[in-house]
Amino acid sequence: MARADIDIQGLQCAACVARLEAQLQRVPGVTSACVNLATERASVEYTPEVSDRDALLEAVEVAGFDGSWAEDADSGAAEMEASRSERTVRLRLALAVFLSIPVVAVSMAWMHGRPLWMELALMAATVPVQFVAGWGFYAGAWRSLRHGTADMNVLVALGTTVAFGYSVWTVAVHAGHSYFETSATIITLVLLGRVLERAARSRASASVRRLLELRPRVASVITEGGEVETPCEQLAPGDRVIVRPGDGVPADGVVATGRALVDESMVTGESAPVAKDVGDRVIGGSVSRGGVLVCCLDRVGRDTVLSQIARMVERSLTSKAPVQRAADRAASVFVPAVAAAALFTGIGWMLAGHAASEALLATVAVLVIACPCAMGLATPTAVMVAGGRGAELGILVKDSAALERAGGVGLVLMDKTGTLTRGEMAVTQSISVLPGDTSAHALAALVGSLEAASEHPAARAIVAYCASQGVALQPVTDFSSEAGSGVQGVVGDRRVMVGSQRWFADCGVQSDAGLAQEISKAEAAGASVAHVAVDGRHVGAIAVTDRLAPGAAEAVADLQRLGVRVIMLTGDHEAAARTIALQCGIDEVHAQVLPGRKADAVKRAQADGMSVAMVGDGVNDAPALAQADVGIAISGGTEIAAEAADVVLVRGDLRGTATAIRLARATTAIIRQNLFWAVAYNALGIPLAAAGRLSPMVAASAMALSSISVVANSLRLRRFR
């Protein structure tokens, strides 16, 4: 499967979204299409062998919109285009306001018995408002109707045209009172609403823009001819750049020379600058606060941590939560239903014996007050603000559906090593071997040589211990690893096994009673014990311990305060697991669980009706992360792409788990509020308008305010802590 992101121009309401999605999904090879009204972007998954990218752009054009590839977009050109579009709308609004004020003033002052010259003057002032300031509504309505659908533009164009056309007819035949002020005011208020709505949506996407703005625009690259100022877009892996005090690091890399304090708060959240020396990694977008560095770049452009974070946030915004899909489906039939309701309203008033002018006002009010925009913006604006705020807090949510699921989590399963603990193990004891057998030093040489081929945290601790003891390591042949159990191989002429007691039993290696007492003492103290067998005989063990991760106990307490049940799920033995669990405040522990069986544990919890989150390091825990309702990966600053997870904690701080759940709950609450008010607004407004209780001008004001109120309510998430 391939994925394409398309920037869309011309989206106005949720009905537009439904029309474009339907058109994209008709393209052969397209498996899914999500269009986001708030970000004005479409995300399409398709099979390259069946469909091509050109067909996607053609589908966008067929639906009546303009599209361009998001990855090809020039940010400067995009900003200019957006600014030009904004300026056009504002100019149309200014024209509408300038002409509508006298039209309304005159109409209110002379409500009856206006002379013909005054009616002609009102008509002359209204024509530019109707057909110049309001041209966008006609253009949008034509595009929509041409493709067999109806959107918000259709309602506004239809309502104002009816009012304007009726007024022209009354002037032409001298039939009485005109309603030029009605059409002029509706267009003015709707334009004002769109300007205010765009401003609010721009504020909602500010967090994503701030992420991208952290990147410097140019870098000082060291070449054979000296320093050269180079645009960051032209940097390549291997380039050496100079970073002076106050400069931003242009891309990810390693310090080649120099020493400095670097502010990495935009990724790690650590407010204090971090000391960087030769060999240390630096993250693009971080800022030198003192000292000069020469850095060798290894990740540039889209591969940098900052770009990955921004891309993940943007991807999450183009996805859809189930509640949003339901709202979009409702909006797709909303406009035709409103048009029918307006028609029946007019007919009903005429049949009831009311004057044509009264029937006209009720009909126009119904057309104008209906607002699918609020329904279309209810979810994406909340998700947009939450996604940006989450990124600022070091929480990346990969899609909005995961955000919705996270709000309902009632059980969190946590891995131990690298999650609740630092994952930085150290050898605390080399348990004596049987008398007359291999010496402790020789045992360390065998174990260290074997573990040097492994990437497990305990293996790294053992290798470091051997180095500190001056143990010389030997080559290993026939190496193999059993996930969650142990490793084995041939060192010199001896077959060595290092792993769990359970694995030894499975392999037919008998545990030696002479070692049992010392091993039990080490395990009771909370150490993890790696049993050692040489040539099929249990000859010793090495005890390693891990330290509790900073904030682990606080993270568990935060989750429990939220009413979330926390269980430790680990492959370690019971005693070591319970020691860490006791320090964290976790009551329930499932120990000696193999990586493959962790997913089964998640399934069992789900079968009991629980909404489950799995928290792990994203490597051995990948099956469980994928199985869980919400997979949460603990990540460090340079490793954020945990593919199996739905949520990535970029700062590696376990306390982000509770923060993510609180953010999800707050976002879900905002979405529900938005949808309630959007539905309630239409449910109350349309009947009132049909009953003649709302004038068209009041209806237009209410329609404009409905969308603005939804976006403003979503913006409250920017203050989330």
How many angstroms separate the CA atoms of 369 and 155, rounded? 9
Query: At 659, phi and psi to the nearest 5?
Result: -65, -40
Q: What share of the chain is helix, strand, coil (3-state, %, to 5)?
A: 55, 20, 25
The pair of structure tokens assigned to 89 is: 């709308």
Average pLDDT over residues 94-123: 87
Q: What is the band of 589 on the pLDDT scale with cuts at 50, 70, 90? A: very high
* Residue 57 sits in the same domain as residue 121: no
Q: What is the pLDDT of residue 618?
A: 60
- Assigned domain for 211 exists: no
Q: Are strands 41-46 and 2-9 parallel, antiparallel or unpaired?
A: antiparallel
pLDDT above 60: residue 432: no
For residues 707 and 715, what is the distance between their CA atoms, to the nearest angstrom? 13
* DSSP label at residue 535: T
Closest Cα partner for 177 from 187, 193, 166, 162? 166
Q: Quick one: 562 and 593 in the same domain?
A: yes
pLDDT of residue 207: 59
Structure-derived torsion over alpha carbons of residues 199, 201, 203, 207, reported in degrees to the nearest 10: -150
* Residue 335 in tokens: 């406009």
Residues 28 and 153 in one domain: no
What pLDDT sits at residue 560?
95
pLDDT at 643: 65
Q: What's the one-letter identity of residue 305?
A: V
586-598 b/e (C-beta count within 10 Å ≥ 16 → b) = beebbbebbbebb
Count how many domains the chain has: 5
Q: Whole-angstrom Cα distance, residue 17 to residue 20?
A: 5
CB 308 within 8 A of CB 640: yes
The model's pLDDT over 436-455, given as tens digits with 9 standing for 90+, comes to 445 677 778 888 899 888 87
Question: Is residue 375 located within the same domain as residue 406?
Answer: no
Nearest to 628 by CA among 586, 667, 657, 662: 657
| Same domain, yes or no: 144 and 98 | yes
CATH number at 532 reads 3.40.1110.10
Q: Please tell me the predicted confidence (pLDDT) of residue 179.
A: 80
Asked if residue 321 has pLDDT above 50, the reply is: yes
Its sign, for the CA torsion 553, 557, 558, 564, is positive
d(CA 625, CA 647): 10
Percentage of the chain modeled with pLDDT above 90: 21
Is residue 193 domain-shared with residue 328, that is, in the same domain?
yes
Average pLDDT in the 160-185 region? 83
Domain hosting 607: range is 395-422+548-659
28 assigned to some structural domain: yes
Q: Is 406 exposed, middle or buried (0-12, 13-18, 19+ CB in 10 A)?
A: buried
- pLDDT tens profile 178-188: 888 888 888 88
**Domain CATH code at residue 223:** 2.70.150.10
Let me know: does 496 contact 489? Beta carbons within 8 Å. yes
Summarize the confidence of residues 288-316 as an average pLDDT: 81
Task: Determine contact, residues 361/179, Cβ cutoff 8 Å.
Answer: yes
> Do the beta carbons of residue 635 and residue 269 sit within 8 Å?
no
Out of 148-157, 227-236, 464-473, 662-671, pick the least confident. Answer: 148-157
Question: Of 415, 558, 621, 653, which one is the catalytic site residue?
Answer: 415
Q: What is the dihedral of CA 585, 607, 319, 419, to 10 degrees?
A: 30
Instruction: Answer positive or negative: Cα dihedral of 294, 296, 301, 302.
Output: negative
The one-character DSSP state at 512 is: P
Q: What is the pLDDT of residues 119-146, one digit of tens each?
A: 899 999 999 999 999 998 898 888 878 8
Pair (343, 296) in one structural domain: no
Q: Which pLDDT score is estimated for 316?
A: 67
Which candidate, 662, 173, 194, 181, places its Cα nearest to that of 406? Answer: 662
CA distance 405 to 161: 45
Q: Mean pLDDT score of the chain, rounded to an integer?
A: 83
In this predicted structure, what is the pLDDT of residue 411?
96
Model confidence over 36-47: pLDDT tens digits?
877 788 889 899
| pTM flag (> 0.85) | no
pLDDT number for residue 536: 85
Q: Does pLDDT of 637 surpass 60?
A: no
Q: Which CATH number goes with the domain that contains 45?
A: 3.30.70.100
Q: Is pLDDT above 60 for 683? A: yes
Does 95 share its domain with 68?
no
Residue 74 confidence class, pLDDT cut points 50, 70, 90 = low
Comparing 186-200, 469-483, 583-597, 623-637, the range with the smallest average pLDDT is 186-200
Coil/strand/helix, residue 268 = helix
Residues 600 and 711 in one domain: no
Q: And the tokens for 330?
A: 């409702």
Where b means 16+ CB within 10 Å and e means fewer, 623-637 reads bbbebbbbbbbbbeb
How many residues does this entry show for the chain?
A: 721
pLDDT band at 24 (very low <50, low <70, confident <90, very high): very high
Spatial separation of the C-alpha atoms in residues 78 and 70, rounded to whole Å: 10
Tell me the CATH number at 577: 3.40.50.1000
- Interhelix angle for 152-173 vs 322-351, to 10°? 20
- Residue at 192 is within a domain: yes
Residues 126-139: b if buried by 16+ CB within 10 A, e if exposed: bebbbeebbebbbe
pLDDT for residue 676 is more than 80: yes
Q: Tokens 């996805």 map to which residue?
A: 319
With tokens 């293996």, the residue in question is 459
The position carrying tokens 């998001």 is 70
Same domain, 323 and 403: no
Question: Which of 101-110, 176-185, 203-212, 404-413 shows the lowest mean pLDDT across its residues?
Answer: 203-212
Query: Pairing state of beta strands 630-634 and 647-649?
Result: parallel
Does a structural domain hold residue 66?
Answer: yes
Over range 605-622, report the average pLDDT: 84
* 617 has catalytic annotation: no
The answer to the question of residue 568 being in a domain is yes
Residue 375 has pLDDT above 80, yes or no: no
Q: How much is the pLDDT for 434?
A: 46
Q: Residue 296, class by beta-carbon neighbours within 10 Å (0-12 exposed, 13-18 middle, 19+ buried)?
A: middle
308 within a domain of the structure (yes/no): no
Q: In what order do the strands lie in the sheet with 2-9?
A: 30-36, 41-46, 2-9, 66-69
Q: What is the mean pLDDT of residues 281-287?
A: 87
pLDDT of residue 537: 84
**pLDDT at position 452:** 87
Closest CA to 339 of 368, 361, 359, 360: 368
C-alpha distances in Å from residue 389, one per residue of 236, 471, 711: 31, 50, 15
Domain boundary among 523, 545, 567: 545
What is the rounded distance in angstroms from the CA atom of residue 633 to the CA atom of residue 657? 9
Type of residue found at 449: S
Which position has the higher pLDDT, 46 or 12?
Answer: 46
Listed range (76-80, 319-323, 676-680, 684-688) with the worst mean pLDDT:
76-80
What distances in angstroms separate CA 618 from CA 24, 63, 636, one per listed residue?
Answer: 34, 41, 11
Indicate if 24 and 94 belong to the same structural domain: no
Sequence-separated (6 or more) residues with CB below 8 Å from residue 278: 255, 256, 257, 258, 259
As a whole number of angstroms, the distance between CA 249 and CA 220 comes to 10
**Residue 569 within any structural domain of the chain:** yes
320 vs 369, more confident? 369
The residue among 73, 97, 124 that closes a domain is 73
504 assigned to some structural domain: yes
The pLDDT of residue 80: 67
Domain endpoint, select from 21, 39, 73: 73
Gap between the Cα atoms of 550 and 552, Å rounded: 6
- C-alpha span between 522 and 429 (Å, rounded): 8
Residues 553 and 540 in one domain: no
Angstrom distance (rounded) from CA 571 to CA 595: 7
